[in-house]
């Protein structure tokens, strides 16, 4: 039993990386199932789009010709969709996905939230640095505008004018 845990052990990113190192197969299955979910949605949308563009290439536009054209052109789309859905079902039903979904998914979410907080803090810091830079530039501009009316500058100008007047008399 550890009396003191190092600070990095409570870091969600470190915990996620440790889980990935201990369960590489479950991590891969989980990531691939998420990718397959997106892929199935894209293939479905593509299938609907392709179905809308299928029409009889020759002959009258009737039911028989449409069926023949669908058999010819839509089978490949249906096979792709069926393969993606079968892989998705197999992946989701596996014990690796179940384990990863219970243990790894919360770690991924926590790491993403930490990353988002860090990014927000970075952007906030950059905004404040920019505001400070702008304030300094404005202060410099005001200082340059008002230096002619500074009492020391006015006194020095007065002395210079007097010296020039004396030099002009000689």
pLDDT averaged over 10-residue windows placed end to end, the chain, 170 residues: 73 93 95 96 89 74 79 80 94 94 95 96 96 94 83 88 84
Domains of the chain, residue spans? 10-132
Predicted local confidence at residue 53, as pLDDT: 76
Quote the CA–CA distance of 43 and 37 in Å, as a whole number. Answer: 10
pLDDT of 130 reads 95
Query: Which residue, 88, 117, 133, is CA-closest to 11?
Result: 117
Q: What angle do CA 99, 101, 105 make, to 5 degrees?
A: 125
Say if CB 32 and CB 91 are below 8 A apart.
yes
| Of 81, 82, 78, nearest in space to 70 by CA | 78
Cα(47)–Cα(55) distance, integer angstroms? 14
């Amino acid at each position: 039993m550890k009396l003191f845990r190092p600070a990095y052990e409570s870091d969600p990113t470190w915990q996620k990386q440790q889980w990935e190192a201990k369960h590489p197969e479950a991590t891969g299955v989980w990531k691939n199932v998420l990718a397959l979910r997106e892929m199935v949605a894209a293939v479905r949308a593509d299938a609907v789009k392709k179905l809308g563009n299928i029409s009889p290439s020759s002959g009258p536009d009737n039911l028989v010709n449409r069926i023949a054209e669908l058999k010819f052109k839509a089978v490949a789309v249906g096979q792709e969709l069926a393969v993606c859905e079968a892989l998705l079902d197999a992946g989701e039903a596996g014990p690796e996905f179940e384990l990863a979904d219970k243990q790894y998914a919360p770690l991924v979410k926590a790491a993403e939230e930490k990353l988002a907080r860090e990014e927000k803090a970075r952007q906030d810091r950059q905004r404040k640095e920019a505001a400070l830079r702008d304030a300094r530039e404005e202060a410099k501009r005001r200082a340059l505008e008002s230096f002619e009316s500074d009492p020391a500058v006015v006194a020095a100008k007065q002395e210079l004018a007097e010296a020039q007047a004396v030099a002009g008399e000689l």
